[in-house]
Structure 1
Amino acid sequence: MRAARLGGLLVLVGALLGLSAIPVGAVLRAGAQWSRRQRAELPAPLLKPSAAQLTRVYANDGRTLITTFYDEDRHDVTLAQIAPVMQKAIVAAEDTRFYEHGGVDLKGVARALVSDARSGRAGQGASTLTMQLVRNVLKEDPSLTAAERAQATEDTPGRKLREIEYAVELESHLTKQQILRNYLNIVYFGDGAYGIEAAARRIFGVSPARLDLAQAALIAGIVQSPEADNPIGGDRAAAKVRQGYVLDAMLKAGQITRAQHDKAAAEKLTYSGATQPNGCVDATGRADGWGFFCDYFQRWWDAQPQFGATRAERENALRRGGYTVVTTLDAGVQKVAAEQSRRVYGLDDRKTLPIAVVQPGTGKVLALAVNRRFGTAKSITNTVNPLVSGGSGINGYPSGSTFKMFTMLAALEAGLPLDSGYDSPSKLVTEWSDDGPGNCGGRYCPGNDNPGWMDGYRTMWDAFGRSVNTYFVHLEEQVGPAAVVAMARRLGISFSAPSDAKLAESPDSWGAFTLGVIDTTPLELASAYATVAADGAYCAPLPVASVTAPDGRRTPISSTCKQVLDPETARAAADAARCPVGQQSAYGTCDGGTAEQVAGMFGGLAVAGKTGSTEDNRTETFVGFTPTVAAAGIANDPVNPADRVGSGVEARVVTAVGRTLRAAVGSAGYDGFTPPDSTTAYGG
């Protein structure tokens, strides 16, 4: 059937030629050379084009654009989303008999084939919209080989005849409206704009639905010479000439009146030239550091097998797949976190305060902020290092006494109640060997930072509130460092630094672990404490809420959560964590805290948390949580870990993270923490 159609078409072309100088047989031979190589069926991409489309990434409201990823700036739209005047303009400019022919304009083809047969080359003349669609689809189709894509534009009569064959066949499968839609979505308009959506946006800063006659005529005129006639990167005078040609064609075709023609020709056009951001360095929200969240999202994407078998395939899907991604980023929370970080350290300060905010029970990452801009410019204010989330060689920072949470959880799990009391001396000589400086007769012997306030008989409640080192090192002796290390792993601490990972392999004598000597990130720390807030359910950090393909299909995205603690254990730990922030436990046992200013930020709303200072105050940390949100920040020098941030910054870090946490909670109230049962509190 297909061979018969092609043969009949060529015979008709030969008859239309009516020229003895160019025998029909010569034309038939030109087509036969290609016919012997032609495919058995119409290529599937012609029915459903798969040209590259940009992926749009939004904040959690689904409207605020973070960035786009693309190799080609193209976003497919429906015909209903394209102004009717634009549809008419492209037909007038490129194929005035589009609605009359069956894919091929025979008179035009006849003239073109005469020229091609004489020269042995294929020209571009007489190409209908359908033929142009065939050419564009085949040269863009990623499923074809490079050689097959090159054939779509090769300068031979065979290529023209192939277009004719496919165009005729395509018109029997698709309606004119479908062909027009596909054409407008794939054709190149110059200046990096592929398809009508990108062209309308780049040239005039509007959607294709809002194009007026003057704008539509100018865009339609670009197609034949997209770079030269584009008014943004090309010749504006030439673009106006082409606009006049299209308006004349529309008038001649009866699509517009003389008055409409003249008005459009006289309209003063304003050009936009705006390009889409491309990648995380171009992310919007630059002042608030959205690029850091974007970078975390991209690394998450690169690890998801549902988007490709290899990282290269996943990157290709992100840049060419045309997805709509709604992330978990809360722009309002991110803004507050960035502002609070900059209040502690300016953009040009060598020290940083990275802050992460997550949602307990889901792992959704609401904010990743730091006093830096995400960028590659060589300046202290710019970096692309993942200072908040870790990765790419960034292992994080020691967070001091925040690790006492893992010791308390291990002890509770081992059956020790919250009221487990011990005398906490200024210096505790332990069972572990130590040949380093400050040892006590070859034994590890940590001390309290503020003996007058910390020493004495303590329980988990007031020892956690006052951050008593010797109490928690002794508690670690009772349960064993291995149990504490294992607890930290269960709550998402990665031990990503090679030295930390090696120590974790044989942790039995790691007495200092409870004092937070290993590297972690604010994101890991916030997620760990969120586990306590969620009654013991650990949820891996998740930056994405939904991923939708261009055809509307959604890729399933769900939180990866696992119950790692008995709910009563988590509730007991949360009850003790009320003490550091100046609130009272369910049993009225809190007696002093290191971050008591936080209680005033929350009024009557329940909040918990923990401060952490490392040796010589090299870092200062605060992590806070409510039943609905957890946030953590670690003040540090990312370039020189030995550089001390100083004890004086602790209160400012607590305030910055506390205010961020309060902003993330929002105006809606929430239920308080569930009190632990009396057995977990006092033993049975």
Structure 2
Amino acid sequence: MVVRVARLGGLLVLVGALIGLSAIPVGAVLRTGAQWSRRQRAELPAQLLNPSSAQLTRVYANDGKTLITTFYDEDRQDVALTQIAPVMQKAIVAAEDTRFYEHGGVDLKGVARAVVSDARSGSAEQGASTLTMQLVRNVLKEDPSLTPAERAQATQDTAGRKLREIEYAVELENRLTKQQILRNYLNIVYFGDGAYGIEAAARRIFGVTPARLDLAQAALIAGVVQSPDADNPISGDKAQAKVRQGYVLDAMLKAGTITQAQHDKAAAEKLTYSGATQPNGCVGATGQADGWGFFCDYFERWWDGQAQFGATKAERENALRRGGYNIVTTLDPDVQKVAAKQSRKVYGLDNKKTLPIAVVQPGTGQVLALAVNRTYGTGKSGSNTVNPLISGGSGINGYPSGSTFKMFTMLAALEAGMPLNSGYDSPAKLVTEWSDDGPGNCDGKYCPGNDNPAWMDGYRTMWDAFGRSVNTYFVHLEEQVGPAAVVAMAKRLGISFSSPSDAKLAESPDSWGSFTLGVIDTTPLELASAYATVAADGTYCAPLPVETVNGAAVGKSCKQVLDPEVARAAADAARCPVGQQSAYGKCDGGTAEQVAGLFGDRAVAGKTGSTEDNRTETFVGFTPTMAAAGIANDPADPSDRVGSGVESRVVTAVARTLRAAVGDERYDGFPPPSTVRAYGD
């Protein structure tokens, strides 16, 4: 203890001289040293042993290799010392602390030299900080557990800060090996141009990993640490960067870590600078041509709602930008590419109308694609937007999807015990029991009609009424089971009623006769997820954009919301609209019969939806393995009609996207419903 205090006392005397405290009596310094020694051994901050500096988060597509984007406050990723080229390790020691392997945290010779030099010059010009002392300063400055004021204290030019830094450095050398200290230093130090740590510096300056740095590159990177922004060759002075490189090479030669030949070769090497930066956030996401930013935006919204990443939204955002996660999402770039292409075939990028398309996997909820004929961004072009047009959120509630909501009425009826062959002589116009004071009412009653009476009117069952989309049949069916049951069914299958007006109507839905005709707002993502529930034998899975976080699988959120036999019966009727035949041969006409040709002998089902005056046109299709939905609309003006002429193109676009999602692998068909669900007792 006496030796330790004496050594510390000697250090403090030298430091006192260096910072203008030489008038302090030696006895007082020694007493201070003893007090510091006892206190700091007990209070060495844990973060100095295990630095918790900000790390960038990488977000990948479902192959785990294709980078979507990164999130970071500081571009940094820690690497092991074995992943850093030996010449880089030698270069940083030569540049910043030539006696690193000889001192115990504080270089007495260096401090003494600094005192003499500064005394001659009359000002504090000669630095004496070791790598270990610099590490202490950087760790405390970066530590997220400290307050901003505490982090600021880590760089204050005061006696207290210097004394604390010295004692921490001495104690740290007793706790960690030189290799551990060097690794931590290289991972935390700032190299300029937004590069924190050696991984970011090597990548940004030369476009390589730290393990691949050669001597010339390593010497240049090591040289910028003293003035990182000024001397960085990307953001600063290239000529000065070369000067600093020469200084480091000279220091390495003097230390004997390189030969004269190696020195000369490195000095003469022509360097090529990369300047490549990581994308940061969703606006900078890769795959811009295919709209990956829309998926990225949905991922970020999902993350913000996950309590395991922080108690508040702010904490979760901080974790995403500083936590260093490796995240594998569910985005399938190939499916996304097809979805984007098909959407843009219907409407160009600059068209004010849009066709957002979502693809979801039944039984898992995994979201494979979210595409629309827009560019994700904040530019001035009309094609740029950051609005969540496919998934909803931030005031985007979606769009009415017309007759696709007949699925919820059919499910409610099947659940109530009505079989698929429930018949009704559907008129061209149906006068209902519900009051209606709006335009087109029939003596104060709600009275919807069929869009194509010649093709739709007459005796219908669920099979051909769903195939031909007979309005009066399904409104009558809704009368039988009650609108409340149909609304409740839609909620069970994930329809959110996010529009305040829709949510209010849903509170008292008993007279909501038009609900089955799809008058409320929904999104392609909600719609695809709802129909995926039918495909999955009644298991609803909340949409999920992530497969793994740091290698750990993210649990899906699934719930059995329908009797499997009810779901199978609905799927059987849904074969009719797309031109295929039900298990009992009861399909007779469909509104999207072109879909069957895309799938050949493989099972497919779906439903079209047209709203009043063809303001929107929708198609949702599904197989036992995939579901896709798209809604053509004008997001800026809901009253602007897309027109009936676009219906066929919407059907084709969504169907081709679905076909791409299922791929070429064979899959089992839809299980046939029981005879009880088909024909009753």
The 1:439–1:179 alpha-carbon spacing in structure 2 relative to 1, beyond 3 Å, is same
3-state SS of 1:435 partner: coil
Structure 1 CA distance, aligned partners of 2:126 and 2:621? 67
Structure 2 CA distance, aligned partners of 1:102 and 1:541? 56
Match of 1:448 among 443, 446, 450: 450
Match of 1:638 among 623, 635, 639: 635
The offset of 1:648, in angstroms, is 0.5
| 2:430–2:449 Cα contact (<8 Å) kept | yes
Structure 1 CA distance, aligned partners of 2:261 and 2:44? 45
- State the AA in 2 paired with 1:294: C
The offset of 1:23, in angstroms, is 6.4
The 1:455–1:6 alpha-carbon spacing in structure 2 relative to 1, beyond 3 Å, is farther
Structure 2 CA distance, aligned partners of 1:176 and 1:225? 24
Structure 2 CA distance, aligned partners of 1:236 and 1:137? 29
> What TM-score do the two structures reach when normalised by structure 2?
0.96
3-state SS of 2:43 partner: coil
The aligned residue for residue 83 of structure 1 is 85
Match of 2:679 among 658, 679, 682: 682
The 1:66–1:560 alpha-carbon spacing in structure 2 relative to 1, beyond 3 Å, is same
3-state SS of 2:540 partner: strand
The aligned residue for residue 153 of structure 1 is 155
Match of 1:167 among 157, 166, 169: 169
| Structural RMSD (CA) | 2.3
The 1:213–1:485 alpha-carbon spacing in structure 2 relative to 1, beyond 3 Å, is same
The offset of 1:209, in angstroms, is 1.3
Structure 2 CA distance, aligned partners of 1:142 and 1:56? 20
Gap runs ≥5 in structure 2: none
Task: Confirm or deny that 1:614 pairs with 2:611.
Answer: yes
Structure 1 CA distance, aligned partners of 2:60 and 2:30? 50
| 1:218–1:243 Cα contact (<8 Å) kept | yes
Gap runs ≥5 in structure 1: 549-553
Structure 2 CA distance, aligned partners of 1:484 and 1:410? 6
- Which deviates more from structure 2 when the two are superposed, residues 579-588 or residues 152-161? 152-161
- State the AA in 2 paired with 1:532: V
Give deviations 1:91-137, integer Å, cap 9, x for gaps: 11111121222212110122335678999997771211111101100
Give deviations 1:224-260, integer Å, cap 9, x for gaps: 0101110011110000001011111112222222221
The offset of 1:379, in angstroms, is 2.2
The aligned residue for residue 187 of structure 2 is 185
- State the AA in 1 paired with 2:654: V
| 1:17–1:110 Cα contact (<8 Å) kept | no
- State the AA in 2 paired with 1:10: G
Structure 2 CA distance, aligned partners of 1:563 and 1:303? 23
The offset of 1:85, in angstroms, is 1.2
The offset of 1:147, in angstroms, is 2.5
The aligned residue for residue 671 of structure 1 is 668
The 1:440–1:336 alpha-carbon spacing in structure 2 relative to 1, beyond 3 Å, is same
- State the AA in 2 paired with 1:82: I
The aligned residue for residue 494 of structure 1 is 496
| 2:12–2:33 Cα contact (<8 Å) kept | no
Correspondences of 1:99-178 after superposition (within 5 Å):
99-112=101-114, 125-178=127-180
The offset of 1:214, in angstroms, is 0.8
Structure 2 CA distance, aligned partners of 1:34 and 1:9? 6
3-state SS of 1:231 partner: coil
Identity, % of aligned pairs? 83
3-state SS of 1:322 partner: coil
3-state SS of 2:334 partner: helix
Aligned length: 677
The aligned residue for residue 10 of structure 1 is 9
The 1:377–1:154 alpha-carbon spacing in structure 2 relative to 1, beyond 3 Å, is same
Structure 1 CA distance, aligned partners of 2:399 and 2:15? 80
Give deviations 1:548-587, integer Å, cap 9, x for gaps: 2xxxxx6662110010000000000001101111111111
- State the AA in 2 paired with 1:274: A
| 1:27–1:113 Cα contact (<8 Å) kept | no
Match of 1:590 among 556, 568, 587: 587
The aligned residue for residue 199 of structure 1 is 201
Match of 1:422 among 414, 421, 424: 424
- State the AA in 2 paired with 1:384: V
Correspondences of 1:182-581 after superposition (within 5 Å):
182-548=184-550, 557-581=554-578
The aligned residue for residue 551 of structure 1 is none
The aligned residue for residue 655 of structure 2 is 658
| 2:12–2:163 Cα contact (<8 Å) kept | no
- Which deviates more from structure 2 when the two are superposed, residues 200-209 or residues 632-641? 200-209
- State the AA in 2 paired with 1:646: G
Give deviations 1:172-221, integer Å, cap 9, x for gaps: 11111111111000000011110001111111111111111111110000
> What TM-score do the two structures reach when normalised by structure 1?
0.95
- State the AA in 1 paired with 2:7: G
The offset of 1:367, in angstroms, is 0.6
The offset of 1:156, in angstroms, is 2.2
Structure 2 CA distance, aligned partners of 1:12 and 1:446? 92
Give deviations 1:515-545, integer Å, cap 9, x for gaps: 0000000000000000000000000111111
3-state SS of 1:366 partner: strand
The offset of 1:26, in angstroms, is 4.6
Structure 2 CA distance, aligned partners of 1:118 and 1:31? 27
| 1:31–1:157 Cα contact (<8 Å) kept | no
Structure 2 CA distance, aligned partners of 1:302 and 1:124? 48
The aligned residue for residue 100 of structure 2 is 98
The offset of 1:15, in angstroms, is 9.3
Give deviations 1:31-90, integer Å, cap 9, x for gaps: 866986865421111001011111111111111111111111111111121111111111
- State the AA in 1 paired with 2:602: L
Structure 1 CA distance, aligned partners of 2:27 and 2:333? 64
3-state SS of 2:606 partner: strand
- State the AA in 1 paired with 2:145: S
Structure 1 CA distance, aligned partners of 2:654 and 2:469? 18
- State the AA in 2 paired with 1:105: D
- State the AA in 2 paired with 1:214: A
Structure 1 CA distance, aligned partners of 2:10 and 2:559? 72
- Which deviates more from structure 2 when the two are superposed, residues 80-89 or residues 106-115? 106-115
| 1:13–1:110 Cα contact (<8 Å) kept | no
The 1:655–1:530 alpha-carbon spacing in structure 2 relative to 1, beyond 3 Å, is same
Give deviations 1:318-356, integer Å, cap 9, x for gaps: 111111111111111111100100000000000000000
The 1:581–1:18 alpha-carbon spacing in structure 2 relative to 1, beyond 3 Å, is closer
Structure 1 CA distance, aligned partners of 2:521 and 2:301? 20
Structure 2 CA distance, aligned partners of 1:501 and 1:635? 23
3-state SS of 1:671 partner: coil
| 2:609–2:619 Cα contact (<8 Å) kept | yes
The offset of 1:275, in angstroms, is 1.0
Structure 2 CA distance, aligned partners of 1:47 and 1:173? 8
The aligned residue for residue 626 of structure 1 is 623
- Which deviates more from structure 2 when the two are superposed, residues 433-442 or residues 559-568? 433-442
Structure 1 CA distance, aligned partners of 2:679 and 2:374? 47
Structure 1 CA distance, aligned partners of 2:652 and 2:301? 31
- State the AA in 2 paired with 1:190: G
Structure 2 CA distance, aligned partners of 1:173 and 1:511? 74
3-state SS of 1:487 partner: helix
The 1:497–1:22 alpha-carbon spacing in structure 2 relative to 1, beyond 3 Å, is closer
Give deviations 1:614-644, integer Å, cap 9, x for gaps: 0000000000001111000000000000000
- Which deviates more from structure 2 when the two are superposed, residues 352-361 or residues 371-380? 371-380
The 1:23–1:391 alpha-carbon spacing in structure 2 relative to 1, beyond 3 Å, is closer
